[in-house]
Amino acid sequence: MTEDESNSDGLIKRQTTGEDRVRMIARQLTEPQTVNWIASQADWSHEPTKRVLDRLVTDGILHRDETGAHTTYYPDYRRQAMQEAMRLRDSGHTVEELTERLADMKTQIRDWEDEFSVESPNQLRGTLTDKSLDVDEEDRRREIAHEWEHLQRRIQVVGFAIREWDFLAPIAESAEASS
């Protein structure tokens, strides 16, 4: 960790409460995590972290999964997608710009499908068993598979924002359009 990163981490800790940090971490989750993991990331103790997470579950912001060996918490992905679609709508981009961005993402995925003769990120990961690949190529393919999954999620959100462009308009804009 560089000195700047260390100073930045210290500043964040001094200017936020443990609860604030838990809430920030919880809202950024992309996969289920345990209380211990979240507490560690928030640099806060277990019990107060658990209380905050339980309140977030009660408020419908997080979900709790108790089916595995450890209880995990994960965000409401629908809520995250809706908020992201609203941010896209409010970003100042036009629907045409978002449509172009959507086309670019789909083209990138088609290019990977053609380059590697696969149809999914997991099929691309399956090519890592090829003994003729060097370490750099293996790393590249893992990175592309990860990016591919990210683009698939983005395509869904951007596509939703485009389809629901009028519905997602800010209230003031909707009122002006109907008058």
Both tokens of 67, joined, read 């089916």
- Answer yes or no: is pLDDT of 168 > 60: yes
Q: Are residues 25 and 96 in the same domain?
A: no
For position 15, what pLDDT does the model report?
72
94, 168: one domain: yes
56 and 85 in a single domain? The answer is no
Same domain, 108 and 145: yes
Q: In terms of residue numbers, what domain contains 139? A: 79-178
**Quick one: average pLDDT of 90-110?**
96
DSSP state of 167: T
One domain for residues 69 and 83: no
CATH number, position 36: 1.10.10.10
| Angstrom distances, CA of residue 10 to CA of 3, 4, 5, 7, 31 | 10, 10, 9, 5, 26
Q: What is the pTM for the complete model shown?
A: 0.66
Is the pLDDT confidence value at 118 over 90? yes
H or E segment and range at residue 75: strand 72-75
Q: Count up the domains in the chain and report the number.
A: 2
Quote the pLDDT of residue 51. Answer: 97
Give the mean pLDDT of 101-127: 97
Residues 102, 140 share a domain: yes
Are residues 114 and 160 both part of a single domain? Answer: yes
